Each structure stands twice: as C-alpha cells, then as structure tokens.
C-alpha cells in the first residue's frame, strides 16, 4: 500500500500508516520518547504491565516520521533504574541522548558516570506513581541545586499538571538549573490560554531559563477530532513567545493515551503551529542541538 507514491508504515503503538505531509528537516530531533524493553524488569512499585517498545520498534517510527536524533526519557515504570534507557542510548549511538530518573540518594559519582553515557538531564515527575513515594518540592529543589553545583550542564525536566505548575511557580522560578516543562505544561482545556497555568508558564518562559516541550497534544485536548485546535492555540502562543526555547517530542509509545494517536498527524501539527520554516527548523533541529548538546 502507498500514499501518493510513498510507502505505508506499520509502526507499533502508532495509529495510521502514512508518512507525514511535513518533511522532517535533516537532523530533526524527537525530544521525548520512551523505550520499554522486556529484558529490563519493571520497578516493584509499578502495577501495570509495561508495553513492549524496543529500540528496533522505535527505528520503524523514525523511518516513518523522518527524525534522526532522539532523546530517550526514563519512564516511571523503571523507578530509578535507568539501565533500559542507557542501553537504548548506547545502541542508538551519537544520535541519542537521555533524560533519567533519580532520587536524592544518587551519588555525584553516579551522575558523572551517566553524563559520560549521554545523559543531559533528570526528570522529576509529580503525576505518575514513583518508586520513592510522593515527589515533593523539597526533592526538586535539592536535586536542582546538586546538579547546578556539579556543573555538568544538565537540566531538570518536570512533569506536572497545569494546576501544579500554578501552585509551584515560585519554586520553579527559583531553581538554579535550566528548567524543561513536559507536554506544554498540560494546560487545562477548555480554558487554555485563559487558565492560570498558561500565565505561569509564560512568566517562566519570560524568565529566560525555562524551555517547553511541544508534545502530548492528546493529553488535555477536548478537540482531537478537529485536529487538537484547543491545544494548538496554546502551542502557537508559546511559539510566539519563546521560539528559541521550544523543542518537539512524539511521546511514543503513548502510554497514557486513551487511544493510540496517529504519529504522522502529530508531526504535521508542527506545520500548523509553526508556519515559518526557519522557526520550525530551529525548534526541530537547532534548539535540541543546544539543549541536549548534540
């Protein structure tokens, strides 16, 4: 089967089979995805059966979408065991980087060793169950301060609901490290740009040390059938405000989606949200190169 001369693709954990209409620029980076390899057991705290989403599966995704660089993010499934992520980065080579999950017991030596293996940051998750229990502001602050003192060039990535960002805005603004916000901050809909979460993220962006991932369009939308128009309004405002500190991510294999999205549709949102070609190439290529040190 083909689409206008283009082949069809069968990619695990992805609806549809056509390639995107938007051609990915050379060295385009998917800055948020996860690997789940059955060779690595899930953490004891994790109660759901993880998907099988291997490096080989993800290479099929890359072939379909056209990206060539990757940032592998350790999912909560593995707790603070980053072996699966580090193995994936080693297999992908110089085109891959990692964001890992640690707690406050991690040693400076461990952090330095992971830096040598392509790690550029840590993810602090306030949404999903974590192996240490409840994630607190104090934990976030301590980890950020430690990374800053080590001067590894790492950033802190947060996964929060929009209202959590509102409640922790002062803490987030005070962190000494670069801050990266997952999934556009999960700004609630239908309020969108009128919600306090949007204002909080805009103020953080204006502070100059915060980045936002254009990812997870399906997480808070109420207009999926209309092409994620509601989330698109938020994304376009971020593009207007700080195009120099935005990156794009697929969130493959979409573990919290109610139904699998079409990854070609998700990638094509970049053409709608970022109509200027130079700006789009900046977000897909240049900004990841800066943030993840490719």
How far is residue 164's CA from residue 54's CA, in Å, rounded to a whole number? 32
pTM of the predicted model as reported, rounded to 2 decimal places: 0.95
The pLDDT value given to residue 6? 66
Token couple for 4: 């206008």
How far is residue 85's CA from residue 73's CA, in Å, rounded to a whole number? 7
Q: Cα dist. 145→18, 133, 151, 152, 212 in Å?
A: 45, 21, 10, 12, 21
Residue 155 β-bridge partners: 121
Instruction: Provide φ and ψ at 256, rounded to 5°.
Output: -110, 15
The pLDDT value given to residue 121? 98
The pLDDT value given to residue 131? 87
pLDDT over 70 for what percent of the chain? 98
pLDDT of 224 strictly over 50? yes
Q: Given pLDDT bands bounded at 50, 70 and 90, which one contains residue 208?
A: very high
Higher pLDDT among residues 225 and 232, named by residue: 232
pLDDT of 1 strictly over 90? no
The pLDDT value given to residue 237? 98
């Amino acid at each position: 089967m083909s689409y206008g001369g283009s082949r069809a693709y069968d990619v695990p954990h992805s609806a549809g089979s056509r390639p995107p209409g938007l051609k990915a620029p050379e060295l385009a980076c998917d800055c948020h995805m996860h690997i789940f390899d059955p060779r690595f057991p899930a953490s004891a705290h994790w109660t759901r059966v993880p998907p099988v989403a291997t490096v080989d599966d993800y290479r099929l995704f890359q072939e379909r979408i056209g990206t060539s660089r990757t940032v592998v993010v350790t999912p909560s499934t593995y707790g603070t065991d980053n072996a699966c992520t580090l193995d994936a980065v080693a297999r992908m080579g110089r085109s891959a980087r990692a964001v890992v999950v640690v707690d406050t017991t991690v040693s400076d030596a461990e952090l330095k060793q992971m830096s040598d293996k392509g790690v550029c940051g840590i993810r602090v998750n306030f949404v999903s169950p974590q192996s240490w229990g409840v994630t607190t502001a104090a934990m976030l602050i301590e980890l950020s301060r430690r990374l800053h003192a080590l001067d590894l060039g790492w950033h802190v990535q947060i996964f929060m609901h929009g209202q959590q960002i509102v409640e922790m805005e002062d803490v987030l603004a005070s962190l000494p490290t670069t801050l990266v916000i997952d999934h556009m901050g999960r700004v609630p809909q239908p309020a969108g740009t009128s919600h306090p979460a949007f204002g909080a993220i805009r103020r953080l962006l204006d502070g100059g040390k915060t980045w936002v991932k254009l990812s997870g369009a399906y997480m808070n939308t109420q207009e999926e059938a209309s092409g994620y128009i509601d989330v698109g309004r938020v994304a376009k405002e971020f593009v207007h405000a700080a195009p120099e500190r935005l990156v794009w991510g697929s969130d493959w294999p979409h573990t919290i989606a109610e139904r699998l999205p079409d990854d070609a549709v998700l990638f094509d949102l970049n053409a709608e949200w970022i109509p200027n070609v130079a700006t789009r190439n900046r977000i897909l290529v240049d900004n990841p190169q800066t943030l993840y040190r490719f």
